[in-house]
Amino acid sequence: MFDNKEDFKKTFALRLEERYGRSVEDSHITERYDILGEMVRDYAGAHWRVCREQLLKGNRRQLIYFSMEFLIGRLLTSNMQNLGIFEVAKDGLAEMGIDIGELEDMEADAGLGNGGLGRLAACFLDSIASLGYPGHGNTIRYEYGFFRQKFVNGKQVELPDQWLSNGFVFEVRKPKHSVEVKFYGHAETYLKANGEYALRTVNATCVRAVPYDVSVPGYRNGVANTLRLWSAEPSESNLPSDQNFEDYLNTLKELCHGLYPDDSTEHGRMLRLRQQYFLVSAGLQSCMRSYFNRYHTLDGIEKAYVFQLNDTHPILAIPEAMRLLLDEYGYGWDDAWNIVTHLFAYTNHTVMPEALEKWPVRYVQQLVPRVYMIIEEIHRRFNLFLNEKKVSDAARYNMQIIKDGQIHMTNMAIYVGYSVNGVAKIHTDILEAYTFKDFYELFPSKFNNKTNGVTHRRWLMYANPRLASIIDERIGEGWHKDFEHEIHKLLAFKDDEATLNAIMEAKAENKKDFASFVEKAYGIEIDPTSIYDVQIKRLHAYKRQLLNVFHIMYLYTRIHEDPSFHMVPHTYIFGAKAAPSYAYAKKIIELILAVADVVNSDPLVSPFIKIVFVENYGVSLAEKIIPAADLSEQISTAGKEASGTSNMKLMMNGAITIGTLDGANIEIADAAGRENEIIFGLTAEEVQRMVDEGTYNPWAIYNSDERIKRVLDGLFSGPWAKGDANRFRMIFDELMNQNDQFFVLADFDAYCKACEAADAFYEDKKAWARACLINIGGSGKFTSDRTIEEYNRDIWHLAKMDV
């Protein structure tokens, strides 16, 4: 490809001429971006080839990571950095009069994910490749992503995320690897040539699943893995005879239209199920076909592959694998079962039983009837096993795979999979003690914890080059590859005034950059010397953005009514999308925007408080916000957040956590020291006790705390209601008439005191800077490299590539 700046310039100019018939000077910015993207993709292609050849030659064990989302963000910069060609490209382009930053801004965030689940999967892919392990992601090539969020008249509006409108330069379409996925139809018995009876699916609707592969280069190690995106196209040989072609095409378009279809309708729920089956069937067929073509059997495939199921969405992979082995490859049940029970590992991401996926029996019966037959047989055999173990009736009921007309997907995954992991210590403890207590007693060896992590390369090295440079100067560059064991060396400088000043100066510059962005993007002037108080995460009631905005509403009233009140100026920064059908979450967004409108225009309050709710929050916006953040809001109800990952990214960049003892906050406080975070609120045990005993009464708090009464009454009569007493009634009703499910009012007083403590802490500049450094130096545990090494040690057992 190119080894130096001169080679780069020649190749770039030649490709522009060959592809677009233009010189560098005459080319358009979109053409320049395309050529640079192709060059980066092709540079990684050589690594791709070497790794693939090595895998095939040595029959190395590979990981397939099934996830409905991979929130990969932009790839251009991170891929160039990982490949070690960023500076060559930057300098070469500069000599041709091109600013690489302008080309970087041309790239759209890939519309392949939404929240922490997808960002975690993306971080994992980066770490797997950077550590040299053979591991590949599988998901759907969503044409319009989740949605593009726009605020119109103070409310969230969902628009299509047209991220593919200019193509996706990093993908390679591979039609020769396509497979056929079958929906509907029915199972029939037939006589095989050897005289045995077998089952097969007939009269099915066939869909051609075509893979688009995206290379995932490791950090300067010659390894390139794959993120495979499956796209639905018409079958080449099995077009439906009972459906006109236009309707058939519309069905296919729906499959890959967008992430997480609206589940408030039966059509939307069925579409979600179709997407899940499409993904896992395509991925499994591809792997099985590849293995069979090489060895003419599937014996031993469990030694060549491990499938990690990221949350409940891909669990249909388990009965589908059984179907393929039984119906397509002629295995008997026992031999197929022996393979499948050694193939799958499951990651749980929620402690809330109501969030564990269940599907109506009739949905699965209709959509994939043969798969449902296999689920029934798994269920029957599981009950025989429970009989043998003399399990109590209560425990048996809790563990049933099919009950009350529903298929409980997680119960099937725990029974069949060989590993079940939580994603933070408290999360795994709750799974074992409460959520899956009966399963844990039956299969204790299956359960393990793998605390989440984030890739420090994207979230510190590339997103925050000012801070990265300071760290390099103090401790060298060893942390680039070994963050877990090297970053702690920075702690030696926790009392070094020059280092503390340098870190705070870098933060100040990052804050100025973000202030400039906010003024340009939203027309809001914010004070870079104020506390940047950040809550960036999916909008859900348990994450308690409501607690944050209630506190702001309280401060607004206090500033107006108490002339002696003093507070450190804050810029409250929100970033969140609410699912289109989640009306309550959308109403909370509306409240935050309404409060922002009032506060930002109030001459008395705005010198102390500004609110910025960034529109269409995603990876690229996070890369602007996180390096500038002072305070990291991690205020979920204790016991409800599985782990969280924004807390880790913010910690790595020197933000102080204000949070509950929930998810990974506990481990963050342990790593940095409780004195360097601000911890408040009920514990998970206290919350659970109040739930079990039924002792919590939000009305008692409303009637005894004048601050809360004023805030809640303000939902009807405050300036944000704009004279409409019903505008925010939904929020009042959810809290007061649904018993404040997530204990917002119960933690309000403790949160107010924690915020006051944060202000006092911030005013002691040296102590604050010291805590920032300790957070950075203590964040080694939270690199996804550490998480992946633990997955591999305990679950995957992959060997590193020899490149």
Query: What 3-state class would DSSP assign to 658?
Result: strand
The residues, any chain, with a CB within 8 Å of residue 732's CB and separated by 6 or more, are 712, 715, 716
What distance, in Å, lies between the first and last C-alpha atoms of the chain? Answer: 18
Least confident of 276-290, 344-358, 586-600, 746-760: 344-358
Paired strand residues for 393: none
Query: What 3-state class would DSSP assign to 798?
Result: coil
Q: Is 604 exposed, middle or buried (0-12, 13-18, 19+ CB in 10 A)?
A: exposed
Catalytic annotation present for 557: no
pLDDT tens per residue across span 621-639: 999 999 999 999 999 999 9
Which band of pLDDT confidence, cut at 50, 70 and 90, is reported for residue 477?
A: very high
Catalytic annotation present for 358: no
At residue 92, does pLDDT exceed 80? yes
Give the phi and the psi of residue 403 in degrees, each rounded to 5. -160, 145
pLDDT tens per residue across span 727-779: 999 999 999 999 999 999 999 999 999 999 999 999 999 999 999 999 999 99
Find the catalytic residue in 9, 649, 727, 786: 649
3-state secondary structure string across 255-296: HCCCCCCCCCCHHHHHHHHHHHHHHHHHHHHHHHHHHHHHHC
Least confident of 189-193, 282-286, 665-669: 189-193
As a whole number of angstroms, the distance between CA 747 and CA 585 comes to 19
Are 106 and 133 within 8 A, CB to CB?
no
At residue 198, does pLDDT exceed 90? no
Residues above pLDDT 90, as percent of the chain? 95
Dihedral, 660, 663, 667, 673 alpha carbons, nearest 10:
-10
Catalytic annotation present for 537: yes
Which band of pLDDT confidence, cut at 50, 70 and 90, is reported for residue 194?
A: confident
pLDDT tens per residue across span 673-721: 999 999 999 999 999 999 999 999 999 999 999 999 999 999 999 999 9
Find the catalytic residue in 119, 537, 640, 781: 537
The average pLDDT across 302-321 equals 98
Find the catalytic residue in 272, 511, 540, 543: 543
Which band of pLDDT confidence, cut at 50, 70 and 90, is reported for residue 238?
A: confident
The average pLDDT across 508-519 equals 98
Catalytic annotation present for 543: yes
Which band of pLDDT confidence, cut at 50, 70 and 90, is reported for residue 382?
A: very high
- CA-nearest of 427, 410, 423, 420 to 357 is 410
Paired strand residues for 228: 138, 213
Output the pTM of the full model. Answer: 0.97
114: DSSP letter: -
> How are beta strands 419-422 and 344-347 bridged, if at all?
parallel
Give pLDDT, residue 354.
Answer: 76
Give pLDDT, residue 355.
Answer: 81
CB count within 10 Å of CB 470 equals 20
Find the catalytic residue in 274, 456, 457, 538: 538
The mean pLDDT value of the chain amounts to: 96
Sign of the C-alpha dihedral, residues 342, 348, 353, 359?
A: negative
Find the catalytic residue in 226, 350, 645, 660: 645
Find the catalytic residue in 9, 47, 90, 349: 349
Give pLDDT, residue 59.
Answer: 80
Give pLDDT, residue 239.
Answer: 87
At residue 1, does pLDDT exceed 80? no
- ∠ CA 89-91-97 to the nearest 5 degrees? 100
Query: What 3-state class would DSSP assign to 170?
Result: coil
At residue 242, does pLDDT exceed 90? no
pLDDT tens per residue across span 569-590: 999 999 999 999 999 999 999 9
